[in-house]
């Protein structure tokens, strides 16, 4: 495979992971704040894939793609640590003082709308003992490896 094909494969991988996140959301698995954070680097990696098609420096674009994939993998690993109660999560969505504690008595007792806080420290879905955040980290590390291979092949071409 050429460096360009590998980079495009990595970008399509990010597209597939992002599409999968939206499918889970459509199936009723609302994303927490950290889940949303993991989506943005995939969008950047997809954009890097689009840049591959423009003829820009492939090695530079591949580095951008690799950094994006490594960023979402790092967020996924952090999120996994929060889910497993190893690390403290953001106050807005974890047990360390979530946003419900910031509401007044009137807001808590109000029947006007609902307060839906999706917890970052609870696993909504898991397969083979790994949560969605964990799977995102695993697949994103593989995508980062593809981007790195593309960058190395582009430099030697």
Rg of the chain in Å (alpha carbons) = 18
Residue that wins the pLDDT comparison between 99 and 133 = 133
Terminal-residue alpha carbon distance, the chain: 12
Separation between Cα atoms, residue 91 and residue 59, nearest integer Å: 39
Q: What's the whole-model pTM score?
A: 0.84
Query: Tokens 């990010």 map to which residue?
Result: 14
More confident residue, 95 or 39: 39
Q: For residues 14 and 42, is the Cβ–Cβ distance under 8 A?
A: yes
pLDDT digits (tens, 9 = 90+) for 16-51: 999 999 999 999 999 999 999 999 999 999 999 999
């Amino acid at each position: 495979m050429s460096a360009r094909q590998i980079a495009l494969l990595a970008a399509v991988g990010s597209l597939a992971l992002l599409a999968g996140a939206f499918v889970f959301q459509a199936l009723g698995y609302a994303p927490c704040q950290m889940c949303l954070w993991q989506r943005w680097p995939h969008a950047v990696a997809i954009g890097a894939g689009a840049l591959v098609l423009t003829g820009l420096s492939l090695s530079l674009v591949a580095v951008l793609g690799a950094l994006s994939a490594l960023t979402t993998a790092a967020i996924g690993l952090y999120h996994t640590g929060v889910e497993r109660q190893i690390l403290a999560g953001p106050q807005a969505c974890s047990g360390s003082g979530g946003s419900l504690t910031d509401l007044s008595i009137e807001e808590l007792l109000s029947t006007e709308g609902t307060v839906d806080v999706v917890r970052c420290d609870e696993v909504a879905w898991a397969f083979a003992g790994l949560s969605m955040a964990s799977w995102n980290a695993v697949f994103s590390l593989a995508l980062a490896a593809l981007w790195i291979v593309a960058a190395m092949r582009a430099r030697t071409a």
